[in-house]
Amino acid sequence: MIRTPHIFGGRAIRNKEIADLLNKIADLLEIKGESPYRIRAYREAARHIEAMAEDITAIAERGRLQNIPGVGESIAAKIAEYLKTGQLAYYEELKSQVIPGLAELLTVPGLGPRRAQAIYENLGITSVAQLAEAARQHKLSKIPGIREKTEDRILREIERLQERTHRLLLGVALPAAEEVAGLLERYLAVERIDPAGSIRRMKETIGDIDILVASTRPTEVMDAFVSLPMVKEVLARGPTKSSILTRSNLQIDLRVIKPAEYGSALQYFTGSKEHNIALREIAIRKGLKLSEYGIFDTRTGKRLGGESEEEIYRIMGLQWIPPELRENRGEIEAAAEGRLPKLIEIGDLRGDLHVHTNWSDGTDSLKTMVEAARELGYEYMAITDHSISLSVARGLSLEAIVEQGRLIDRLNQKYAPFRILRGTEVNIRGDGTLDYADAVLRSFDVVTASIHTGFGQFREKITDRIIRAIRNPNVDVLNHPRGRLLDKRPGYGVDLEAVIKVAVETGTALEINSQPDRLDIDDVWARRAKEMGAILVIDSDAHNKDQLRFVKYGVGTARRGWLEKKDVLNTLSLDRLLRRLHPGRAAA
């Protein structure tokens, strides 16, 4: 029997599947030397689809595929064909027209279709293993256009690719787990359901997608699980554990637990391994036995509890420890002494200070972004389109700044008391100077600063460059301080300890960027920044209205970093925010 569903947030599993398909088509078109406009069209469509919150299948069923930005009649028809049949004739035809193996080379981040083609034409390489061996033997640097530095980078990327083969971004794994949970919780046989493992701990990358269900009717739960619409293949089917492969090639494992044992199982399967080992050592010292089945008195064998996690921790003399803290980094000692932090929650955020619109490289209008922010219950939002030198992102000229400011003034009158803050994401140049003169920067309500170029500078140079930028009294926020892209690009070399020290002196906020492939700064550095006295800010860096919801990933990172509401700038009310940024300036 099915009950009314609870709606889970996040992008649907199939969105990434379709985005990956379109990007693969673009890669093949580039290898073939097709028109750059066609290639760009597929990549743009893929970018929009991957960022959407709504399941593309539902959009297709309503016949609204062409309403997705970047999706025209031709691409919409291809998407519809793939959704209906699970295959796309056009993609298969393209694959038959290029050398087998080149698609595998394109899995190496930063290689690119043209360079892959050149490597094949010069060395006949058609696999990542062959590519790695050629790089070790310095054969790649003999190809025109490939320097030794590039060769070294390719080898490092191959090594990183091999290390992370089985890990997923939180932004892929969590929506997948939420979609499955949202479908299964409609069934009356499901009493409780939770993602477990590193998803529940909100780690930035995930090894396995594990879901637990409390139920006294496991057969019904398993029947429902293996029959879900996203199932591509049932990998294993058992009475209490089953595994499926989704159409996006994600493996999801489901366990059914007796309700009386659910709390102990949830604690056990949430981890981390290090946290659980430390807990068991404490249990032994207290004459207890802790397992996934419950907590027991070692001497008598009596079962003392296990229905809830809170019960487990209470019997051990501990506060309940939020899942994000369970890494054996001092949380058990803090719980024993009753001094765990009251972690920030997503409802504590009063606004977003890093948002893009179609004035630069965003895809939605300023008005659309404002209305979406108001729906989230925000009091304010800073529009921080890119600055002039970042031409690839259509950075704003001085004239455009003035024009956008007039639009913001008009919308502020319409949407009051909601406040749109005039902002900028100003580019930090190679020498640490900023794109706009100080007089221009002073005209903004919020100035955020970022590095977008010159990632290869030496550690000392890039550190001095950032420090010079945040010493500018007009800079309020340092965005994505390490510049990393998970699975794509390591952070640039920077002495973050030195940067944080100066940020504390200047009062510059350090951003936790919530984009799932950034989450920069990470949990470890967020905690260190807090310890040093820095203020942080959790921003979406949204480029469309759906991405405003990415802040849940940033909040997860902040919680892993032990942050509380008081540690985060955008938990302040509008009036307090403006008084902190611009002493003496009123909110009105």
pLDDT digits (tens, 9 = 90+) for 348-385: 999 999 999 999 999 999 999 999 999 999 999 999 99
Q: Is 419 exposed, middle or buried (0-12, 13-18, 19+ CB in 10 A)?
A: buried
524 with 536: CB under 8 angstroms? no
The pLDDT of residue 216 is above 90? yes
pLDDT tens-digit map of 21-70: 998 899 888 888 888 889 989 998 998 898 777 789 889 989 999 989 88
202 with 556: CB under 8 angstroms? yes
Q: Which amino acid is at 312?
A: I
CA–CA dist 174, 379 (Å, integer): 27
**Residue 67 corresponds to which tokens in the numbers above?**
């309403």
**Residue 105 corresponds to which tokens in the numbers above?**
């080379």
Question: What is the share, in percent, of the chain residues with pLDDT greater than 70?
Answer: 95
Q: How far is CA 20 from CA 25, 90, 225, 341, 553, in A?
A: 9, 15, 25, 40, 22
Contacts of 163 (CB under 8 A, 6+ apart): none
pTM of the complete model? 0.79
The pLDDT of residue 259 is above 90? yes
The helix (H) or strand (E) run that includes residue 253 is strand 251-257
**Is residue 322 reached through a cis peptide bond, with omega within 30 degrees of 0 on the bond before it?**
no
CA–CA dist 89, 87 (Å, integer): 7
356 with 381: CB under 8 angstroms? no
pLDDT band of residue 8 (cuts 50, 70, 90) is: very low
Under DSSP, is residue 405 helix (H, G, I), strand (E, B) or coil?
A: helix
546 with 552: CB under 8 angstroms? no
pLDDT score of 163: 58
Q: How far is CA 394 from CA 116, 160, 363, 385, in A?
A: 29, 32, 12, 9
The pLDDT mean for the chain works out to: 91
Q: How far apart are the first and last CA of the chain?
A: 55
Q: Which amino acid is at 368?
A: T
Residue 283's nearest CA partner among 272, 294, 269 is: 294
Contacts of 470 (CB under 8 A, 6+ apart): 449, 478, 499, 502, 503, 506, 508
pLDDT score of 567: 98
What the chain holds in terms of domains, given with CATH numbers, is 13-163 (1.10.150.110), 168-257 (3.30.460.10), 273-336 (3.30.210.10), 346-581 (3.20.20.140)
The pLDDT of residue 109 is above 50? yes
